Chains A and B, each alone.
Chain A
Amino acid sequence: ETGVTQTPRHLVMGMTNKKSLKCEQHLGHNAMYWYKQSAKKPLELMFVYNFKEQTENNSVPSRFSPECPNSSHLFLHLHTLQPEDSALYLCASSHVGRGGASTGELFFGEGSRLTVL
Chain B
Amino acid sequence: SQQGEEDPQALSIQEGENATMNCSYKTSINNLQWYRQNSGRGLVHLILIRSNEREKHSGRLRVTLDTSKKSSSLLITASRAADTASYFCATSYSGNTGKLIFGQGTTLQVKP
Chain A residues at the B interface, C-beta cutoff of 8 Å: 2, 4, 6, 31, 33, 35, 40-43, 45, 48, 50, 55-56, 88, 90, 92, 94, 96, 100-102, 104-111, 113
Main secondary structure of the interface of A (DSSP, over half): strand
Closest 5 CB pairs of A and B: A102-B98, A108-B42, A105-B45, A100-B97, A43-B102
Q: Which of A33, A105, A110 contacts B99 (CB 8 A)?
A: A33
| Contact (Cβ within 8 A) A55 B40 | no
B88 x A2 contact (CB < 8 A): no
Interface size class of B (residues with CB under 8 A): 20 to 34
* A90 proximity list for chain B (CB < 8 A): 42-43
Q: A43-B88, A107-B45 are in contact. Are A102 and B40 (CB under 8 A)?
A: no
Counting CB contacts under 8 A, is B41 at the interface? yes
New contact pairs (5) apart from A42-B103, A88-B40, CB-CB < 8 Å: A43-B43, A48-B99, A101-B98, A102-B92, A108-B44
Interface: B52 (CB within 8 A): no
| B101: Cβ under 8 A from any A Cβ | yes
Assuming the contacts A50-B98, A94-B98, A96-B98, asked whether A42 and B105 have C-beta atoms less than 8 A apart, the reply is yes
B104 interface residue (CB < 8 Å to A):
yes
| Residues 82-112 of chain B, each 1 if its beta carbon lies under 8 Å from chain A, else 0 | 0000001010100011111111110000000
Instruction: Find chain B residues with CB under 8 A from A102 CB.
Output: 92, 96-100
